[in-house]
Amino acid sequence: MEPSSAPPCRMCVPRLGLLLAVSLLTAWIPTTVAQLTVEPVPPDAAEGMDVLLLVYNLPENSPVYLWYKGETADPNRLIATYVTSLGNTAPGPAYSARDRILSNGSLLIQNVTLEDTGNYTIQAMNILYVPSEASAQFRVYPKLPEPHITSNQSQPVEGEDSVAFTCEPEIQNITYLWWIHGQRLPETTDRLQLSPDNRTLTVLSVTRNDTGPYECGVSNPGNTARSDPFSMNVSYGPDAPTISPPDLYYCSGANLSLFCHAVSDPPAQYSWLVNGRLQQATQELLVPNVSVNNSGSYTCHVNNSITGLNRITVENITVFGPVAQPAIRVINTTVLERDRLVLTCLTDDAGISIRWIFNSQSLNLTARTRLSPGNSTLNIYPVMKVDEGEYQCEAFHLNCSSKSDPLWMTVKDNPEPESSDLLPGAIAGIVIGVVAGVALIAVLAYFLYCSKTGRASDQRHLTEYKPSASNHSQGRSDSSPEKVDEVTYSSLIFNAQQPKQPTPASLSPRATETVYSEVKRK
C-alpha cells in the first residue's frame, strides 16, 4: 500500500509550498494599501455622450486589467483585457468598438446608448496575478429635444388679456423650467401662475412690461435643453400725446412747426385740428409765414386701432404782430476820451423791452456803464478807447424782436490834461476835502474874531464911562460935537455886541485889527 501512495505525496509538496508562499506574501503585503475604486464621469449621461470609468488605486506594476459588463467578473460578459507590457487590448464577448481601455486602467465608453446603462467591474492583477476588483454604475438617459414656446394670444391688449405660454413638446419623466429676462423663475406670483407639471406659464392681465423674453427648458438627470427666447407683442396706448416745441407765442412771419408724439404699440395714427377744424392726418403740422390770424387752439388727436383708445392734447398758440424797428439817437458819433457818451433807443411800440448790443454781442455792464429804467438810455462815463465800436439796440416782446441799424461810435484822443480824467468819485473826494478845509479856517477865524471883539468891548466900557462923567460934570448938550463922537462910538459898540456870522472872507485877522485900531484911536 505504501508504494502506491508515495508518488501523490511527492507531487503535492510543490503545490502546497506555492500556496503557502502565496499566503505568506499575501499576509506580508501591508494592509494599508488603498482600495481599488471606480468613479463614473458623469454618473448620469445622455445618449451620445462619452462616459469615463475612472480607476483609482491600481496595484503597482499590474500586468493585466480586465473589464466586465456587470457586477461580477463573469467571463461571458468580459469586455476586454489589457496587457500593460504589450499596451494592447484583447476584446471579449461584451466588447464594442466604442469601448477603449486606457493605460491607467480606466475604461472610456464613447457615444453611449440607453443599453449602456448598468454596472461595470474591473479586475486588476498584481505582480503575483492576485486579482483586485471594483465596480461602478452609470445611467444613460434619452437625449432631450430642443423645446419651443407656444402662446394662446398673438396680440394681447394691455390690461385686458391673459397669456398662457406652453413648453413643447410634452415629454414624460422630465422637469420643465422657465426663465424671464434671463432670470430663472423660482416660484409663482400674483400675476404669474404655473400648471401642476410646470409645462404651462400663465401671465394674468398683461402689461407692456410683460413682453419678455421668455425661455423654457426641459431637464432630466442626464441633460438639459433650453428653448430660444420668445417675446410677445403687447398692444398698449396711446398714452397722452406731447406737442413739441412747447412754445406758445410766435411772431408774425415765423414758420410754425408742431410735432406730435404718443407712446403706443402698434404706432398710433395722428391728426391735427386748428380751432376745431380738421387740418391734416399727419404727425407733423407745418404753417409757414404765420400772422395774427393763425392764433388759436391746436389739437393733436391720436388713435390706436388695436386697443381702440383715443387721446388728445391741446395747445393755445398766440401770434403777435411784428415789432417796429428801433433807432439809436446820439448827439455826435465821435466822442473824446474821458467825455460822456449817451445813446438813446427810440421805438414806436409800447410795453416793449430793450437790450443793447456791442460789436454783435450782448453789452457787458461795467462800473462806467449805466442804463436808465427800461434800458432805453445807455450812459458811458468816462469814455475809453475800448468803447469804440458798433452799437445796436434791440426791441423785443416775448419771441418777437427787431434790431436797430448799426451805429459806429468813434473815440478820439482828448487833448486835455490827464488830471481831467478824474472819476466822479475822486472829484467828490477833492470837493469834500476843500470844503472841510474852508470850514476849519472859518472856525479858527471865528474864534479869533471873538477874541478881538472881546478886547473892543473892554475898550468900549472905558470910553463909555468917560463921556458919562464929562456929561454930568460939564452939562454938554446933545448937539455938541462930543455927542456926535459918542454916537459914532455907540454905533461901533452895537456892531461889537451883535456880530454877523463870520465868513472866511470877512473875518480875516487883518480886518479885525483894523477895527480895533479905529476904536483905540477914538
Q: Sheet holding 296-303: strands in order across? A: 249-251, 310-320, 296-303, 269-274, 277-280
In this prediction, residue 283 carries a pLDDT of 96
Q: Write phi, then psi, for 334 (nearest 5 degrees).
A: -120, 130
3-state SS, one letter per residue, for 296-356: EEEEEEEECCCCCCEEEEEEEEEEECCCCCCEEECCCCEEECCCCEEEEEECCCCCCEEEE
**521: number of Cβ within 10 Å:** 6
Same domain assignment for residues 41 and 116? yes
Domain span holding position 222? 148-226
pLDDT at 454 (0 to 100): 55
How far is Cα 90 from Cα 330, in angstroms, rounded to an integer? 120
Q: Is residue 485 part of a domain?
A: yes
Which of 273, 304, 320 terminates a domain? The answer is 320
Q: How far apart are CA 241 and CA 311, in angstroms?
A: 7
Domain boundary among 171, 194, 226: 226
d(CA 397, CA 249): 10
Same structural domain, 313 and 332: no
Give the residue-averaged pLDDT of 420-425.
53
- Pair (267, 339) in one structural domain: no
Distances (CA, A) of 510 to 82, 148, 449: 150, 126, 10
Asked, for residue 232, whether it belongs to a domain, the answer is no
d(CA 243, CA 245): 6
Percent of the chain with pLDDT over 90: 64
Examine the pLDDT at 469 and tell me if it is beyond 60: no
Kindly tell me if the per-residue pLDDT of 175 is higher than 80. yes
pLDDT of residue 418: 53
Q: Does residue 181 share a domain with residue 159?
A: yes
pLDDT at residue 340 tops 70 = yes
Residue 423 lies in a domain: no
Look-up: residue for cell 470609468?
Answer: 53
The cell numbers describing 429, all together, are: 473826494
Does residue 422 belong to any structural domain of this protein?
Answer: no
Which DSSP helix (H) or strand (E) runs through 472?
Answer: helix 424-474
Q: Is the four-CA dihedral 387, 389, 392, 398 of positive or negative sign?
A: negative
Q: Do 126 and 165 share a structural domain?
A: no
125 and 163 together in one domain: no
Pick the most confident of 22-31, 331-340, 439-448. 331-340
Residue 416's pLDDT band (boundaries 50, 70, 90)? confident
Distance CA 30, CA 336 (A): 121
pLDDT at 434: 74
How much is the pLDDT for 223? 93
First-to-last alpha carbon distance for the chain, in angstroms, is 209
Note if the bond before 245 is cis, omega within 30 degrees: yes
Q: Which residues contact 91 (CB under 8 A, 6 or more apart)?
A: 79, 80
pLDDT at 166 over 70: yes
CATH of the domain at 72: 2.60.40.10
335 and 282 both lie in a single domain: no
Residues 412 and 450 in one domain: no
Confidence check: pLDDT of 510 > 50: no
User: Between 187 and 402, whose confidence is greater?
Assistant: 402
- Residues 299, 272: contact at Cβ < 8 Å? yes
How far is it, in rounded angstroms, from Cα 149 to Cα 169?
Answer: 9
Residues 123 and 63 in one domain: yes
pLDDT over threshold 70, residue 9: no
Beta bridge partners, 200, equal 166
Confidence of residue 243 (pLDDT cuts 50, 70, 90): very high
Q: Is the residue at 23 inside a domain?
A: no
**Shortest CA distance to 309 belongs to which of 219, 241, 401?**
241
Q: Is the previous residue joined to 7 through a cis bond, with omega within 30 degrees of 0? A: no
- The residue type found at 67 is W
pLDDT at 50 over 50: yes
Q: Which is nearest to 226 in space by CA: 165, 171, 174, 178?
A: 178
Has residue 227 got a pLDDT over 50? yes
Q: What mean pLDDT value characterizes the chain? A: 81
- Residue 6: all three cell numbers together: 508515495
- Take residue 136 and report the three cell numbers written for it: 461602478
What are the φ and ψ backbone dihedral angles of 455, each rounded to 5 degrees? Answer: -65, -40
Question: Is residue 302 domain-shared with residue 351, that is, in the same domain?
Answer: no
Query: Are 167 and 93 members of one domain?
Result: no
Cell numbers 406659464 correspond to what residue? 201
HSE-CB for 501 with a 13 A CA cutoff: 1
Q: Look at residue 449 and tell me if it is in a domain.
A: yes
Most trustworthy range by pLDDT among 353-357, 501-505, 514-518:
353-357
Stated pTM of the model: 0.56
- Binned at pLDDT 50, 70 and 90, residue 306 comes out as very high
| β-strand pairing of 310-320 with 249-251 | parallel
Tens digit of each residue's pLDDT (9 = 90 or more) over 360-412: 999 999 999 999 999 999 999 999 999 999 999 999 987 789 999 999 999 99
- C-alpha cell of 67? 473589464
**Which segments within 399-452 are labelled E, that is strand?**
400-403, 407-412
Helix (H/G/I), strand (E/B), else coil: 493: helix
Report the alpha-carbon distance of residue 509 to residue 446 in Å, rounded: 10
Question: What is the rounded distance in angstroms from the CA atom of residue 59 to the CA atom of residue 38?
Answer: 13
At 515, give phi and psi (nearest 5°): -60, -40
Tally of CA atoms within 13 A in the half-sphere of 389 that contains its CB: 14
How many domains does the chain fold into?
A: 5
Contacts with 110 (C-beta within 8 Å, 6 or more apart), sequence order: 50, 98, 100
Residue 187, in any domain of the structure? yes
- What's the gap between Cα 70 and its chain centre? 69
Q: Is residue 259 part of a domain?
A: yes
> Rounded to whole angstroms, how far apart are CA atoms 463 and 516?
13
* 331 and 311 inside one domain: no
Closest CA to 341 of 332, 350, 349: 332
User: Which of 123, 141, 159 is at the close of a domain?
Assistant: 141
